[in-house]
Structure formats: C-alpha cells, structure tokens
C-alpha cells in the first residue's frame, strides 16, 4: 500500500469524482482500468458506483492502493418513486452488509427478468436476438438498457445511444418495461445500515415538476438521505448552480460525480468535473482520505 505519508486531509481541495461505472454494470472498463484512467486524469478520490451491484469494489480498492489514490466503496441503487425511476448513490458503504446485499440481489432479479421482457418486446418490433445480444455485451454481469442500446447500435438499428433511447428504450417506447425497483425508503435504509451516505444522483435528469422534486427531496431527507449530486457530468452548468442552491436551502451535503461509463460512452470525461459552487458543504467534509501519490509515481 502506497500510503507512507498518511495525512487525513478532508479539508483540502482534492479532486473528487464520486460517481462512476465499470463493466460490472453498464460501464465498459474493468475497475482497474477505470481507477488507472481516473488517476492519470488527476482524480484523487474516486467512487465506483455500479448499478445495483458491488462486485467491482474489491478490484477498485486494490488498483487504487497500487497507484496511491483513494477508492470509495459505492453503489448506485435503482429506485421507483411515483412511477418514476430515480437513482440513489451510496458512498462509503460496507459492501458486505447482508441487508444491503439482500436488497441489491432483489433488484438484480428484477433486472434479469426485465432484460428478457425487453427482448420479447423488441422482438414484436421485428428486432431479433436483442436479449442474447445484450447478454453477450454484458459479459455475465447485470444487463442494463445500456447493453440493449449498444446492441441496437451494433446491429445498425440506430445511429447512436440518444436514438436508441429515444426510439426504443425510454418510457412509452416499444422496449420500455416499467421499473419495479427499490422504494426510496428501502434504498436509503440499505445504504445507511451499511454505514454509508445516501446521495440523490443527477437530480436535474428527472422528469419531475418543481413541486414533485421538492416532495421527493423531503421524503429522501426524512428517511435519512444526506446529500445530493450538485455537480454531475450530465448536468449543465446552470443545473449545477440550481442544485447548489437547493442543497443549501434543504441542508443537504453536496456531492460531485462524472457518471463516467467508459471512453466511448460518457457524459463527461474523467478529471473534468468543475468544483462545487461556493456555499456548498461537501459530502466528503468528514472523510479521512489520504495524501495521494503524485501521478508521476505511476509506473
Ligand atoms: P437501466 O438502469 O438498465 O434502466 O439503464 C439506465 C442506464 O441507461 C443509465 O444508467 C445510463 O447509463 C443509460 N441511459 C439512460 N438514458 C440514456 C440516454 N438518453 N442516453 C444514453 N444513456 C442513457
Ligand atoms: Mn448507467
Ligand atoms: Mn444514474
Ligand atoms: Mn450512474
């Protein structure tokens, strides 16, 4: 472990990226590749937050120790709230917590059924072999809509991800299957009982009215949610500022994450996140992260 110079320095302005994916969910890199790329891009504290699964966390931790950076154990939990899908990120979770793992296992069971159902629905639209194709691209890991999107692009049904989602995979489209994910309360409970902090992911991306968003944030806070992603790879600069204001008004801690999925498929590249707007209290306020090895130390 390259932490000869152990200095808890939660107050310093390290570069945090607290939302990213590996091929254990719908990213394209291995956890080690992800960590190495993040390190090379100047990220000093990285959370791997795969959808509904924690299988990549051990490898991420080992890779981070090897290059002298901090890996945070995370997860991104799928939630159904008033017929909408929301994502709640858990940070600094204990991945071995049985309650968390039982909950995630249930979501993965739904995912497995849903993947077959998406395949059946696409078949009715004369798209053959979508389930098998998505499963092949998922390489034995969980199957996400992202894998269907990749299959549709690969087979020439669509030109890119935006079209795949717009035409086939979004709500109301032929391949859309309504979610039966965790309740908001369950997701927060699993995270908190596993010792973690619950964070509303990419709040600007939900199709909720201002009133419903306030209601959701209120419920989230009531059941123990602490933070929202103020700065996010899929947010506009205006959205970052807007949610900075909301975090202050509601007394939420502020998180920052790129939501990186891989070099060819991403909202924003690693190492490019803007800093938190002024007046935000960082979600990492009380964390003990360690002095990070200089990038030049990389072999
Ligand atoms: P799932 O959790 O299987 O329903 O898949 C959701 C994932 O699909 C998200 O985590 C994103 O990675 C991806 N996604 C959703 N909407 C879009 C979009 N419009 N363009 C690209 N990727 C998207
Ligand atoms: Mn994703
Ligand atoms: Mn998400
Ligand atoms: Mn994500």
Structural domain includes residue 176? no
Structural domain includes residue 60? yes
Gap between the Cα atoms of 289 and 73, Å rounded: 13
Among candidate residues 122, 144, 169, the one where a domain is terminated:
169
- Backbone φ and ψ for 163, nearest 5 degrees, come out as -70, -40
Could you list which residues have their CB under 5 Å from ion ligand 2?
Answer: 26
Q: Whose CA is nearest to atom 8 of ligand 1?
A: 146
Residue-level pLDDT at 14: 77
Domain span holding position 228: 16-95+183-298
Whether residues 31 and 75 fall in one domain = yes
Residue-level pLDDT at 1: 35
Structural domain includes residue 7? no
Residue-level pLDDT at 12: 47
Whether residues 220 and 240 fall in one domain = yes
* Residue range 6-24, pLDDT digits in tens: 334 443 467 999 999 999 9
Gap between the Cα atoms of 210 and 64, Å rounded: 39
Residue to substitute in 144, 152, 166, 266 for testing ligand 1 pocket (most ligand atoms within 8 angstroms of CB): 144
Which residues of the chain are under the pLDDT cut of 50? 1-12, 297-299
* Residue range 170-202, pLDDT digits in tens: 999 999 999 999 999 999 999 999 999 999 999
Q: Number of folded domains in the chain?
A: 2
Residue 201's nearest CA partner among 164, 154, 255 is 255
pTM for this structure? Answer: 0.94
């Amino acid at each position: 472990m390259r932490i000869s110079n152990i200095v808890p320095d939660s107050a310093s302005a390290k570069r945090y990226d607290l939302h990213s994916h590996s091929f254990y969910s719908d990213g394209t890199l291995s956890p080690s590749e992800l960590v190495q790329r993040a390190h090379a891009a100047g990220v000093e504290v990285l959370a791997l937050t795969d959808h509904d699964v924690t299988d990549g966390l051990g490898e991420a931790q080992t890779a981070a120790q090897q290059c002298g950076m901090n890996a945070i154990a995370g997860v991104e939990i799928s939630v159904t709230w008033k017929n909408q899908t929301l994502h709640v990120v858990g940070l600094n979770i204990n991945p071995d917590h049985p309650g968390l793992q039982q909950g995630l296992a249930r979501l993965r069971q739904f995912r497995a059924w849903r993947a077959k159902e998406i395949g059946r629905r696409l078949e009715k639209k004369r798209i053959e072999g979508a389930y098998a194709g998505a499963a092949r691209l998922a390489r034995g890991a969980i199957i996400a809509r992202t894998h269907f999107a990749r299959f549709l692009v690969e087979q020439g049904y669509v030109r890119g991800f935006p079209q795949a989602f717009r035409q086939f995979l979004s709500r109301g489209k032929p391949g859309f299957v309504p979610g039966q994910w965790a309740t908001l309360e369950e997701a927060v409970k699993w995270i908190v009982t596993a010792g973690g902090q619950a964070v509303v992911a990419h709040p600007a991306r939900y199709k909720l009215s201002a009133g419903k968003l306030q209601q959701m944030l209120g419920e989230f806070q009531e059941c123990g949610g602490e933070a929202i992603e103020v700065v996010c790879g899929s947010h506009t600069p205006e959205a970052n500022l807007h949610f900075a204001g909301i975090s202050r008004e509601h007394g939420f801690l502020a998180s920052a994450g790129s939501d990186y999925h891989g070099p060819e498929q991403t909202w924003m590249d690693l190492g490019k996140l803007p800093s938190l707007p002024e007046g935000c209290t960082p979600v990492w306020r009380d964390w003990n992260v360690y002095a990070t090895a200089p990038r030049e130390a990389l072999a």
